[in-house]
Amino acid sequence: MVAVAGRVAVVTGGRRGLGAALVDELLARGARKVYSTARSAYVDDRPEVVTAELEVRSAASVTALAEVAADVEIVFNNAGILLPDPLLTGDFERVTATFDVNVFGPLRVARAFAPILAANRGGALVNIHSVLSWLAGSGAYGASKAAAWSVTNSLRLELARQNTQVVGVHAGFIDTEMVSAIELPKATPAEVAARILDGLEAEATEVLADDVTVTAKAALSGPVEHLTFSAAR
């Protein structure tokens, strides 16, 4: 079991939204240190928080973070972008950027930190997905989250040999800047962060953060034409 108290964690995209809530919840549960990243420099006055710049599209940036954060025991892959461009007609550069950030970004982080987690008794890797990993209709974003889900499931098998717990997190709509324009019921970042850490500490392999996500997961055994974005409304 990976208990949070006394541990060192890194949260990508920790400056705001769910990332900021994860940083808060980690500290509330007694984390010893939290590296919190953003694409540009920022300040957090809490002594347990170490801020760092990170561009997950850059292998050099990810490597630089891993060199600084060699004491990390829990990695939260939270950084992501929401560009719901249609796959057929959307700007192809935006489609590829979505996959680079949401799929290859977490994979770069996982590859860089896997040896560190192994050296620090295994620890845990937590990847943030979406209910849209399972529902068609949100263009490049949903497709990228579906790919990220598959990557996480494969990483779970590959990292088992070094005793690293891998947790995949699925959530519906969270009340953050990213989805402020979507007029649907939303969970608070604090609620979702608490559920994620509850799952981590309970040795879960998957966290379903809300009722919408539970319903979508149950529908995976049904007809594929029912797995659409409208199902989450």
Give a three-class secondary structure readout of the chain.
Answer: CCCCCCCEEEECCCCCHHHHHHHHHHHHCCCCEEEEEECCCCCCCCCCEEEEECCCCCHHHHHHHHHHCCCCCEEEECCCCCCCCCCCCCCHHHHHHHHHHHHHHHHHHHHHHHHHHHHCCCCEEEEECCHHHCCECCHHHHHHHHHHHHHHHHHHHHHHCCCCEEEEEECCCECCHHHCCCCCCCECHHHHHHHHHHHHHCCCCEEECCHHHHHHHHHHHCCHHHCEHHHHC
Q: Is 145 a catalytic residue?
A: yes
Backbone angles phi, psi at 52, to 5 degrees: -150, 145
- Residue 35 a catalytic site member: no
Spot the catalytic one: 33, 35, 42, 141.
Answer: 141
Instruction: Give the active site residue among 42, 145, 186, 217.
Output: 145
State the catalytic residues: 141, 145
